[in-house]
Structure 1
Amino acid sequence: MAEKTREDDAPSQADTSLVSASLASASSLVLLQLLSRVFTFVLNQALVRLVTPQVFGTASIQFELLLSTILFLSREGVRNALLRSTENKARPQQSALIYNISLLPVLLGAPVAVASVCIYLFSSSATTASQPHFHFSAVIYALAAFCELLSEPLYIRAQNELRFDVRVRTEGSAVLMKTLVTFLALVSLSPDWALVAFAAGQAAYGLTMLVGFLGAYGFRARYWPEQVVAKVHDNTKTEYFDTKLLHLSMAMTGQSVIKHFLTEGDKFLVSRLSPLADQGGYAVASNYGSLVARIVFQPIEETSRLFFSKTLSSTTSNKWEDLQVAANVLTVLLLLFTHLFLLLVTFAPPYLSFALRLVLPARYLQTSAPAILRTYVYYIPTMAFNGILEAFFTSTATPADLRAQSRWLLGFSACFVGTAALLARGGGLGDTSLVWANAANLCMRAFYAWMFAARFFCEQGAGRLVHWRKAVPPVKVLVLFALAAAATRWSEATLGNKPLTLGAQIPHVFVGAACALACLAACVLWERKTFQDAYSLLRKR
């Protein structure tokens, strides 16, 4: 009986380890993103004063799009699929099979990098390509992407071993190196070398990532799949990959082509349709507008994907508890994001014009940046909702589910292009039409993922665990936010004829601060029990 007790306790100990590791991961990644974005924000504040909007737009829109294309298409599917890998003590060779799959981003990355940079260089407009050292800089970006891909097998290994300290330390060092190299190169070189300065910073990032992960594992890494010999029913079998995970990786990689277009479609269209100066404005707005998303949402999304993958793919006997915890985490995160939406919609519009005067250089106020940042008030919450819901989908979907979603994503792609075209033509919205189209696209994707999540829990006999009402604050909170919105807009209207300076806007800022404190106090007072219950459920794990 003692043996049985120890065996029964093992899953709960593993679950506790996973929960604590996931919470530690979330806090560590939020801290990493906060520090890295502070560096990036300071760098951007300096860069927008050191370089022209044309150079900033080329580096931050076109070169970043080239970089993300290579990385996303090469590694995203494999990275998400391998989150579901679990140790199997009956098959000690499994770790070698999984490592072989983690090499696919490297093997796929080389041809993807070559093809991407060639297509980009041959399709670039004459105005863009005429910038000094343009071709040289684009090639450096492609090499930097491949250098980063060389660290991918060790990145995946660190994730599956829950060694988040390795990632935080390495990525933090990489961001610091990128910031310093870019800034020093811009300051020390002539303006003609501005694009090369951005490329050098990205190369420093990729090299630091590679050296950091290699150093964490004693500079021991192989980059070619090796044969794994296993005995199955007294028969010798030679394998290279775990078949189930390989098929899932292939399905997710194929789908990543569509998801990449949906994720980066606005940048693709801006890079092809907008003048270089407006590309610079779009880049500034995108960088500032997505600060919250990158600092908070991205770590939460990545940690949730890991948590859902490990929790719902586990083979423990506590299936109902696993479902209960997963549903609770999902609904509580959605509730948090609903509060973020309320805060942004209530307080951002009345104070955005004043804030832009403080952070944007005068020459960027004449670009599309201010208008785009106004649309980000509504775009940021859609990113949050879609991120967590698609994290759940990715963690639980079968290859058949992925194929079904791919068909819907094709439809969403058509809607994205059509919405952007209609808004641009009918309303004269310019680049803001792309942000509105992206928001509409993310809403459709989030709704699809929500319906999948509801169906998933129903099929497990736990449909009552998830309901949209659990993601909506109480009516008292909604009423208070509505009153705060009215008060801040009244304050803006009464101070509308005053200069946008700190001294003149102090009464307006005071009204907003008082309303914000009242709303936050209401959330703590009336919704504390919801979050306490969720935390208690996690602690029991």
Structure 2
Amino acid sequence: MGSQEALRETTRLASSSALLQILFRLITFGLNAFTLRYVSKEIIGLVNVRLMLLYSTIVFLAREAFRRACLSGSTRRNWTKTFNLLWLTVPLGVCWSLFLGWVWLDILEVPDENAVPHYNFGVVVFGLSAVIELLGEPFWVLAQVHLFVRLKVIAESLSIICKCFLTVILVVLYPHWGLYIFSLAQLVYTSILVLCYVTYFMKFLGSPEATKKSFPVTRMVSILPNFGEDEEFVNWKEARLTWSFFKQSFLKQVLTEGVYDIVNNLGSLTARFIFLPIEESFYIYFAKVLERGKDIKLQKQDDISMAAAVLESLLKLVLLIGLTITVFGYAYSQLALDFYGGSMLSVGSGPSLLRCYSLYVLLIAVNGVTECFTFASMCKEEVDRYNVVMLALSFIFLCMSYFLTHWQGSIGFIFANCFNMGIRIAHSIHYIYRYFEESPYRPLKGLLISPLLTVVYVISGITTGVSEVFLCCDNGWIARLIHVGVGAVCFIATLAAVFFTETKLIYFVRTHVLSRYSKEGLK
């Protein structure tokens, strides 16, 4: 697969993932609103926060490092060794499930049985569902490396729809089941997700289509663990890279991630909808196009040129999205919280928290793209050195969190996260600069915007800020609508400025993102 084709498929994957995230969030929002009529808010809160945190932590710690390592490199590899390595996620997931399940049951405070019954059952089933999802990891990596966009869309859509239908039916018929309902629904979700991937490859492998494409795997048995005595069990280069990424993932998950319930959920919506699909999809692109750890002069120059152009456009894209969120988020945080939860959220520290978080989203945006390139191109030794940096950053982050939280409360913790993210961005920018230093390409220009656009952002921020002072949020609905109208005018002016000043970015979006909708649907 050439770099142009890989870019086209990657943009399809990123845009499809973003649309799926939006769809799933809308479905989840509606489902929560519906189930609140039948199930207590304590149960829903426990599921969405504590049990989903258990599930996501197990899955992240068990598979993230394997994904990063095994998504690198060409599709032409010894897939038997790659599959053997990926199957290790299952026993690792079992270990994490047992350990974290013990933490959730014996270390953390157990909710009142009368208010939230069957908590122990929920912990066990959510841990089990995480292990079940890990059973599909070899199939998922195989699909991602070959950019099977349609499979991802169908599998995730079907599994979430089945989960929602089951939840609605059980909530209506047996509301007294409580956590049984959500636990069984989560189990169904992961089971169908894995089953979709397994079923697809059962039909695809050995088919005329697979033969025509010279697909490197021909039988389902080839995906299963292979204990042949004539060769090594795993590719030790991939295994060592996995270990390096595992140390990094552990530090990131345990030491540098903060969560802020409602404010975090609102503030991170765009990060989840747009930035995360971009980061995940283009990590695959850079990992396929670039040869990890190889000097830039020794790589295919056409691929390097394309990678530099893509990186520059991605940096400009996420920077503009992040800046827009930061500028408009300042003036509309209070209104968003008032709309979401009424005066209970819009009065007090909520708006200030969300304003600060809008700045954090900008840093998340830039960090996601810079690190996705950095981790896709680093050699094992560079990843190990970065882990040392992460460890030092984690210590600094914990110290800053302690002092800033005592000084400014929750806002101080967001500032500590911003500082931590800024240092990580600086490290990645330094790496990218050195990577392209001896080449004619300067992708970091994507972090610069035109003076005209800068002026438009400043004027928009001042105008909407003044509008908030005089029109929001205690002057009635008419004043609020005028405030929204002011923001809409400023937003349109900002889009117009982007259109006329960032011509290279507009061309990139038209060519590689919008063209897929005008020419064809999902293949």
TM-score under structure 1 length normalisation: 0.83
Corresponding letter in the other structure for 1:516? F
Distance 2:364 2:67 in 1: 21
The corresponding residue for 1:418 is: 399
Aligned residues of 2:370 and 2:428 also touching (Cα < 8 A): yes
Report the equivalent of 1:445: 424
Aligned AA for 2:415? W
How much has 1:87 moved relative to structure 2?
Answer: 4.1
Q: C-alpha offsets along residues 328-369 of structure 1, whole Å, 9 cap, x if unaligned? A: 211211111221232122222222222322222666668976
Conserved 8 A contact 1:58-1:128: no
* Residue aligned with 2:366, SS: helix
Distance 1:368 1:171 in 2: 37
**Is 1:289 the equivalent of 2:276?**
no
> For 2:250, what is the secondary structure of its paired residue?
helix
Alignment match of 1:266 (pick from 258, 266, 285): 258
- Residue 414 of structure 2: which of 417, 426, 435 is its match? 435
Aligned match of 1:6: none
Q: Equivalent residues in 2 for 1:197-236 (5 A)?
A: 197-218=181-202, 220=220, 225-228=225-228
Whether 2:489 is the aligned partner of 1:514: answer: yes
Alpha-carbon distance in 2 for matches of 1:181, 1:448: 46
Shift of 1:73: 1.2
Deviates more, 1:247-256 or 1:296-305: 247-256
Is 2:149 aligned against 1:161?
A: no
Q: Give the distance between the partners of 2:104 and 2:335, measured in 1 at CA.
A: 39
Structure 2 residue identity aligned to 1:403: D
CA drift at 1:388: 1.1
Bigger shift: 158-167 or 57-66? 57-66
The alignment status of 1:135 with 2:120, answered yes or no, reads yes
Comparing 78-87 and 362-371, the one that deviates more: 362-371
Q: Report % sequence identity.
A: 27
- For 1:62 and 1:444, the matched residues in 2 are separated by 30
- Alpha-carbon shift at residue 451 of structure 1 (Å): 1.4
CA distance in 2, matches of 1:444, 1:309: 24
Q: CA RMSD in A?
A: 2.9
- The 5 A counterparts of 1:494-509 are 494-496=470-472, 498-501=474-477, 503-509=478-484
Kindly indicate whether the alpha-carbon contact (under 8 Å) linking 1:74 and 1:108 is maintained by their aligned counterparts in 2.
yes
Partners of 1:334 and 1:96 lie apart in 2 by: 36
Q: Aligned runs of 1:103-142 on 2, under 5 Å?
A: 103-127=87-111, 131-142=116-127
Q: 1:43 aligns with which of 7, 31, 35?
A: 31
Q: Contact 2:132–2:191 (CA<8 Å) still a contact in 1?
A: yes
2:49 matched to which residue of 1? 61
- Among 57, 66, 70, the alignment partner of 1:78 is 66
SS of match in other structure, 2:231: strand
Query: In the alignment, does 2:445 pair up with 1:466?
Result: no
Q: Distance in 2 between matches of 1:135 and 1:473?
A: 53
Shift of residue 184 of structure 1?
A: 3.9
- CA 1:490–1:75 in structure 2 vs 1: closer, same or farther (change >3 Å)? same
2:233 to 240, 247, 256: 240
How many Å apart are 1:522 and its aligned residue? 0.9
Distance in 1, matches of 2:334 and 2:15, equals 32
Counterpart position of 2:300: 319
2:156 is matched with 171
> 1:204-251: per-residue Cα shift (whole Å, max 9, x none)?
22111111111111284678621346xxxxxxx422112211221222
Contact 2:326 2:355 in 1 (8 A): no
CA distance in 1, matches of 2:375, 2:304: 16
Q: Contact (CA 8 Å) 1:73, 1:253: kept in 2 or not?
A: yes
Deviations, residues 10-66 of structure 1 (Å, cap 9, x unaligned): xxx623321221122122222222222221232344456765554344322222221
* Superposition deviation, residue 169 in structure 1: 0.9
With 168-177 and 516-525 compared, the bigger mean Cα shift is at: 168-177
What SS does structure 2 have at the residue aligned with 1:113? helix
1:74-129 CA distance string (max 9 Å, x none): 111111111113244xx7xx121222112121132112211221122111125567
Shift of 1:392: 1.0
CA contact (8 A) 1:105 1:149 kept: yes
The 10-residue stretch of structure 1 (146-155 or 114-123) with the greater mean CA deviation from structure 2:
114-123
CA distance, structure 2, for counterparts of residue 67 and residue 532 of structure 1 = 40
Return 5+ residue gaps in structure 1 as ranges: 1-12, 230-236, 268-281
Residue identity in the other structure for 2:133: E
SS in 2 for 1:239: coil
Q: Is the 8 A contact 2:363 2:418 kept in 1?
A: yes
Q: Give 1:285 shift.
A: 2.9
Which residue among 360, 380, 397 is the counterpart of 1:379? 360
Out of 31, 34, 43, the residue aligned to residue 19 of structure 2 is: 31
1:279-428 equivalences in 2 (<5 Å): 282-313=260-291, 319-360=300-341, 372-427=353-408
> Which of 228, 233, 250 is the equivalent residue of 2:243?
250
8 Å contact 1:284–1:369 — kept in the other structure?
no
SS for the counterpart of 2:147 is coil
Deviates further, 20-29 or 193-202: 193-202
Question: Would you say the 8 A contact 2:472–2:480 is kept in 1?
Answer: no
Shift of 1:283: 2.8
Q: Residues of 2 paired with 1:64 and 1:394: CA distance?
A: 27
- Supply the AA of the counterpart residue of 2:334: S
